[in-house]
């Protein structure tokens, strides 16, 4: 198989009108912590052929996207044939265009009924998720090669650290669009409204993107292991893994122990859960530097529109770190930046791909790279102001405008990997 090179999306962020999901509920209460609702998103649900065509035209060969659990199983045990056929159409079109589809089964959003049954802190979700994974594999497995069960399975622990830091008036970063100011401002009213919307006590509402207990962390990875098991039972040829959010953790003098702790919490602790996986999806956007005082903050560094340090070298460092502990396939399933200056995006991609090529040349088992994201899309609590995409989307007409960075990604990929 050729080196897989392309871009990624997530269903809720691009498809539009994902009304059966927990995210839709959370965006549309009066005191939501979201800056705006997802609404039509980028209407990718109806325009997926156009968007895949842009990938193909740029010379790319891989598209990572997610199947929306809330669409496929809007009511427990009731699978929607129309929605399954929709995703079959997406997969079939990828193959028709010689695009390798890489499918994620869960990218942050869940059906409302899952939350009402205890969400991601309930042991029962292991069964619910396995049933969903089995159904998708039975229905669509003939068109698949790579399946990511859960996107950024370690995100709940990262959010827990951020919320703890916020309670202590400290700063911290997480690789997802969180609106921390609005959380501080309206958290109490928000949870009371969610309680009414979900018809359950506010302290029992556990969507995927919420601070996770240690028990909830184990449940999440149990979901992955059980899903992997049923997928392999249905179709042993499929390659199964998950993705993890991993910072490029670095240390200055005095920060060595904190760096080691961060590496352990973000990656090493989860190795027992993934040892039977076929590949690991690695997702990195920036770095963290630790010194004797904790995480180093520098007001004079170059930052992206998200406020992260502009640091495309991070992905090479993370791949090399991961490979010290993981000798199977590594797939860079997300890497990129939000910026209004496409020249900056091109610069970021150039440095990142050079680093990945160095890893490949050194014999590390890197098999693919999907830039985040194919489209400017809905960045969770931060709404549509963040622009990660290789393609701009007019928020009124939904018209697409490919950026130079899309062409550059295809050209650079051909130069380095073919």
Q: What is the pLDDT along the chain (418 residues), one digit of tens a residue?
A: 689 999 999 999 999 999 999 999 999 999 998 999 999 999 999 999 999 999 999 999 999 999 999 999 999 999 999 999 999 999 999 999 999 999 999 999 999 999 999 999 999 999 999 999 999 999 999 999 999 999 999 998 788 677 666 566 655 665 555 555 655 556 788 889 999 999 999 999 999 998 899 999 999 999 999 999 999 999 999 999 999 999 999 999 999 999 999 999 999 999 999 999 999 999 999 999 999 999 998 889 999 999 999 999 999 999 999 999 999 999 999 999 999 999 999 999 999 999 999 999 999 999 999 999 999 999 999 999 999 999 999 999 999 999 999 999 999 999 999 8
Give the SS3 label for residue 292.
coil
Backbone angles phi, psi at 153, to 5 degrees: -60, -20
Q: CA of 193: how far to CAs of 35, 199, 309, in Å?
A: 16, 10, 35
The whole-angstrom separation of Cα 203 and Cα 228 is 30
The whole-angstrom separation of Cα 249 and Cα 269 is 15
Give the SS3 label for residue 184.
helix
- Neighbouring CB atoms inside 10 A of 142's CB total 12
What predicted TM-score, i.e. pTM, was given to this entire model?
0.95
Answer whether 60's CB lies under 8 Å from 23's CB: no
The whole-angstrom separation of Cα 115 and Cα 101 is 29
Here the CATH number for the domain that contains residue 25 is: 3.20.20.80
Give the residue numbers spanning the domain of 399.
4-417
Answer whether 75's CB lies under 8 Å from 21's CB: no
The domain tally of the chain equals: 1
The whole-angstrom separation of Cα 191 and Cα 183 is 10
């Amino acid at each position: 198989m050729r080196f897989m090179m392309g871009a990624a999306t997530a269903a809720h962020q691009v498809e539009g009108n994902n009304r059966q999901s927990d995210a839709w509920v959370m965006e549309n209460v009066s005191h939501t912590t979201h800056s705006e609702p997802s609404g039509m998103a980028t209407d990718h649900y109806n325009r997926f052929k156009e968007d895949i065509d842009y990938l193909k035209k740029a010379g790319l060969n891989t598209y990572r996207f997610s199947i929306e659990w809330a669409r496929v199983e809007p009511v427990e045990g009731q699978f929607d044939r129309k929605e399954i056929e929709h995703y079959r159409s997406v997969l079939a079109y990828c193959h028709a265009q010689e695009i390798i589809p890489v499918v994620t089964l869960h990218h942050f959003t869940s059906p409302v009924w899952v939350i009402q049954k205890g969400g991601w802190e309930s042991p029962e979700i292991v069964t619910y998720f396995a049933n969903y994974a089995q159904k998708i594999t039975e229905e669509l497995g003939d068109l698949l090669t790579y399946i990511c069960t859960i996107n950024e399975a370690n995100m709940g622990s990262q959010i827990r650290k951020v919320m703890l830091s916020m309670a202590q008036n400290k700063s911290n970063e997480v690789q997802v669009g969180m609106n921390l100011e609005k959380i501080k401002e309206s958290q109490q009213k928000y949870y009371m409204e969610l309680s009414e919307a979900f018809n359950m006590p506010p302290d029992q509402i556990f969507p995927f993107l919420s601070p996770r207990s240690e028990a909830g962390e184990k449940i999440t990875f149990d979901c992955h292991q059980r899903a992997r098991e049923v997928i392999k039972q249905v179709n042993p040829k499929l390659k199964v893994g998950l993705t993890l959010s991993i910072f490029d953790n670095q240390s200055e003098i005095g920060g060595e122990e904190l760096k080691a702790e961060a590496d352990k919490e973000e990656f090493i602790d989860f190795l027992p859960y993934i040892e039977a996986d076929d590949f690991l999806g690695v997702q990195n956007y920036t770095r963290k530097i630790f010194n004797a005082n904790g995480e180093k903050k520098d007001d004079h560094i170059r930052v992206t529109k998200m406020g992260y340090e502009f640091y495309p070298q991070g992905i090479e460092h993370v791949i090399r770190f991961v490979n010290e502990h993981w000798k199977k396939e590594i797939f860079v399933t997300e890497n990129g930046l939000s910026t209004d200056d496409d020249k900056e995006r091109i610069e970021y991609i150039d440095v990142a791909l050079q680093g990945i090529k160095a890893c490949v040349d050194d014999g590390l088992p890197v098999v693919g790279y999907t830039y985040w994201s194919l489209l400017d899309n809905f960045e969770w609590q931060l709404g549509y102001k963040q622009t990660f995409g290789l393609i701009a989307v007019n928020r009124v007409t939904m018209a697409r405008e490919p950026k130079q960075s899309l062409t550059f990604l295809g050209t650079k990929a051909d130069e380095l990997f073919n």
